[in-house]
């Protein structure tokens, strides 16, 4: 069954079924940031049944005054989010993933960069 999502202001739609075939393109690639708010870090720590402080020390990196999930370099200039399972091709904290992941691909950055997201995500259906 098709599950197409559209959002006002974006000139593409998103077919969520593509995620089943995709090998994690939105969790693998150039080095970047997956921002985690204070509330989100509490939720993820709780999901993992970890102490918050231990979670911060183990899985987050501080970037100025914010936190981002750690990433692992798998090839030269190719990184993966620490929570992406490369064997199962799935997010290990899917139910507790941060808002940045939940809102992909409808990021303000892609409003004027549709070609970029078309290249990255097989679920993008251009509307132009």
Taking the complex as a whole, the smallest distance from the CB of residue 128 to ligand SF4 amounts, in Å, to: 27
> With b meaning 16 or more CB within 10 Å and e meaning fewer, what string describes 87-103?
eeeebebeebbbebbee
Closer to ligand SF4 by Cβ: residue 10 or 41: 41
Residues present in the chain in total: 128
Give residues with Cβ within 8 angstroms of 15, minimum separation 6: 2, 3, 4, 123, 124, 125
Interaction with ligand SF4 in 40-99: which residues (CB under 6 A)? 69, 81, 83-84, 91, 93, 97
Q: Answer whether 14's CB lies under 8 Å from 5's CB.
A: yes
Size of the site for ligand SF4 (CB under 6 A): 10
Interaction with ligand SF4 in 8-37: which residues (CB under 6 A)? 27, 34
Taking the complex as a whole, the smallest distance from the CB of residue 80 to ligand SF4 amounts, in Å, to: 8
| Footprint on this chain of ligand SF4 (rule: CB under 6 A) | 27, 34, 69, 81, 83-84, 91, 93, 97, 101
């Amino acid at each position: 069954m098709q599950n197409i999502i559209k959002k006002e202001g974006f000139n593409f739609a998103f077919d969520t079924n593509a995620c089943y075939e995709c090998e994690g393109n939105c969790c693998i690639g150039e080095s970047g940031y997956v921002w985690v708010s204070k509330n989100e870090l509490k939720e993820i720590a709780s999901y993992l049944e970890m102490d918050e402080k231990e979670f911060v020390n183990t899985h987050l990196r501080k970037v100025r005054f914010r936190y981002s999930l750690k990433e692992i370099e798998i090839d030269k200039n190719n990184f993966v989010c620490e929570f992406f399972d490369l064997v199962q091709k799935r997010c290990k904290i899917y139910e507790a993933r941060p808002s940045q992941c939940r809102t992909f691909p409808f990021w303000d950055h892609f409003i004027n960069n549709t070609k970029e997201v078309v290249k990255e995500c097989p679920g993008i259906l251009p509307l132009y």
